[in-house]
Structure 1
Amino acid sequence: MLTHPDFDPVALSLGPLQVHWYGIMYLFAFASAWFIAMRRSKREDSPVTKAQVENLITYGAFGVVLGGRVGYVVFYNFEAWMRDPMLLFRIWEGGMSFHGGLIGVLLAMLFYAHRIHIPYFRLTDFVAPIVPLGLAFGRLGNFIGQELWGRPTEGPWAMVFPKDPDLLPRHPSQLYQFAMEGVLLFSLVYWFSRKPRPTGAVSGVFLIGYACFRIIAEFAREPDQHIQFDLYGWVTRGQLLSLPMLLLGVAMVIYAYALPKLAPQSDSPEQKKI
């Protein structure tokens, strides 16, 4: 059995200024997105130029933060929000949702695609490979902050979290999600996007990959205390929110590869002579 290192949430203190680990993880997430976007912008098929990357990351950052907060309140604390509308603005109390952040980024990319006059799904295909490493850093932040720990287990890798009032040996599910939703998803989507793909295919693979990894990880993650299970005594809120992502991703990949075959073919020169 392992014991969590019980990190100090404050990574660095400079007089009255305190730098928290979670903030550092966000900084690393946006920095990794910028770095990968700059590399991808050099490709001949890139819809985004190097000069546009900075604005792209800015739009994405606003989408993540605003969408993540709204999503957390709507998806996980809707009744409390109805009783206390100001809950949405008390961000210092914590609470961010990946699914809300995803919706926020998709809306932000819709605005940005319109602004720079490029097809929407070409932009989302560009963005998809730059997202997973940011998710990896976010899960490290959850681990450092002892948030979203796993269910009790007797496995030799079980970990006791000092902030857990029950002090039970649990799955370090944050690290599972770091590995699956971060490292593995990045490897999959980045590898798939190395070659030109039909428009929408890369976005679809990202949605499928994240949904599958999240659904798997939820079996080890402790469900939210105030929600527990939504269906059948084992289906969690995270799994329910990931299912539409999986279905949409499959539909996008099928559509991306089927559309060229369904499109009417122009007449060949030989046909025109007849």
Structure 2
Amino acid sequence: MHLQGAWRLINARRPRCIALCECNAPTLFRQPLRNGSPSRSGCAYRVYVPEGVLVMNPVIFELGPFSLHWYGVFIVGGAVLAAWVSSLYARRAGENPDHIWNLLAWTLIAGIIGARLYHVFSSPADGLGWAYYREHPEDIFNFWNGGFRGLGIYGGLAGGILAVAIYSWRNRLNPVRYLDFIAPNVLIAQAIGRLGNFANQELYGPPTNLPWAFHINPAYPCQVPDGAPLYPQVCGMPNLTEETLNWYASHGFHPTFFYEALWNLALFGILTLIYWRLGDRLRRGDGVLLYFIAYPLGRFWVEMFRPDAWRIGSLATAQWIALGCILVSVALLILRHRNWSWRDHPGETLFAPRPPEPPVQAETASAAG
């Protein structure tokens, strides 16, 4: 097992050569600098790194062909925390919280599959998009080599909802009820998961001089115009020259993943407060609708800082989806509450206990005689 250095603070008062092999760079870059002889450190380029740049290695450790990535740890950790809070809601409503923990595995697996398929089919034809996966279908679910990269949140949400529906049908549960328990807590999972974008050096915005600008590892700028990080076998693009690497080293970028994480944390706090204060007045299903109104609002704004996003017309694909979610959810919320009151229908509120099932009457046969 090879344990990677998780954090590295680059302090370059003088030009420093970055060994790309230390940063999980493709072997294509491990080539001599001059005259056909490799440098002492095995570097491919000389990179001028700004002083005090904090670099996080995306890989925690490697064991043979298997590698554990920080992105995967953040995704699973966020999902576990979300499940714990959701189980508290289930217990408050008189439901069995074990169903939430059973759903954790279902939704996590289905969510990752859905998120991956969304990325594969919604990416542009150039770069690491559909054209690439059409020629390399073996990389569609290549998690063991690329880690949890190339995931789309809307596909993950669709996969998670489908998993809840199937599990609820198999166990005779109300799927909307359990989606209500889960919906606001998806936000805390998303916020934690966005830390994986920092580890992967991806999903950043345009250059900026703001104090909170995100400085990426110049030896790992694997983001192409479609916004997707490249896998090692295609990361060594011809245009990734010494000049390109030095340009990355001298610029800061909008940390769009951090913007979205802050938005998700704020929404998690607001929806949690609404649940605990007004949960007995919300109609069943309102929690899901509130999520699909609040989260897409922030995502729509964040996409404005993503010039590399795939666009349809003047808006990014994610912005069109966000608009659709907002409009449909607002319309449903209004229609559902037009002639409904929690005072008149207390059994339909979010935390209303499940009505008791009718007792099973045992059939007794009378003895003839």
Q: TM-score range by the shorter chain?
A: 0.7 to 0.9
Corresponding position of 2:286: 201
Gap change, CA 1:155 and 1:219, over 3 Å in 2:
same
Q: Which of the residues 89, 93, 96 maps onto 1:49?
A: 96
**Partner residue of 2:305?**
220
Pick from 262, 265, 271 the counterpart of residue 183 of structure 1.
Answer: 265
Q: Distance in 2 between matches of 1:251 and 1:87?
A: 40
1:1-274 alignment, distance < 5 Å: 4-12=53-61, 18-43=67-92, 45-46=93-94, 48-76=95-123, 77-91=129-143, 92-93=145-146, 94-162=149-217, 163-164=220-221, 165=245, 166-167=247-248, 168-180=251-263, 182-194=264-276, 195-196=279-280, 197-224=282-309, 227=310, 229-232=311-314, 235-260=315-340
Structure number with greater Rg is 2
Structure 1 residues not aligned, in runs of 5+: 266-274
- Deviation, 1:250, is 1.0
- Per-residue deviation, residues 126-167 of structure 1 (Å, max 9, x unmatched): 110221111011111101221111112232322321233441
Mapped partners of 1:104, 1:116: distance in 2: 18
Residue 87 of structure 1 and its aligned partner are, at CA, apart by 4.0
Q: Distance in 2 between matches of 1:124 and 1:52?
A: 12
Secondary structure of the residue that 1:5 maps to in structure 2? strand
Between the two proteins, the alignment pairs up a number of residues equal to 255
Q: Letter of the 1:187 partner, please give it.
A: G
Change (3 A) 1:208 1:3: farther
Counterpart CA distance in 2 for 1:3 and 1:199 is 50
- Which amino acid in the other structure matches residue 66 of structure 1? I
Give the AA of the match of 1:186: F
TM-score by length of 2: 0.63
Distance 1:258 1:86, change over 3 A: farther
Matched residues in 1 for 2:205 and 2:193: separation? 16
Per the TM alignment, residue 174 of structure 1 is displaced from its structure 2 partner at its CA by 1.2
How many angstroms apart in 1 are the aligned matches of 2:152 and 2:340? 36
- Structure 1 residues 147 and 2, CA gap change in structure 2 (3 angstroms): farther
User: What is the CA-CA distance between 1:71 and the residue it aligns to?
Assistant: 1.1
3-state DSSP of counterpart to 1:99 = helix
Percent identity for Structure 1 against Structure 2? 26
Shift of 1:17: 6.8
1:101 CA displacement: 0.3
Tell me by how many angstroms 1:84 deviates: 4.3
Residue 16 of structure 1 and its aligned partner are, at CA, apart by 8.5
What is the alpha-carbon distance in structure 1 between the residues aligned to residue 70 and residue 142 of structure 2?
20
The one-letter amino acid of 1:173's match is: T
Q: 1:152 to 1:135 in 2, by over 3 A?
A: same
Deviation at 1:88, TM superposition (A): 2.4
Higher helix share: 1
Does the 8 A contact of 2:83 with 2:182 survive in 1? no
The equivalent of 2:364 in structure 1 is: none
Q: CA RMSD in A?
A: 2.6
Letter in 2 for 1:205: L
- TM-score w.r.t. length of structure 1: 0.83
Q: In structure 2, what residue type is equivalent to 1:183?
A: L
Which blocks of at least 5 consecutive residues in structure 2 are unaligned? 1-49, 124-128, 222-244, 346-369
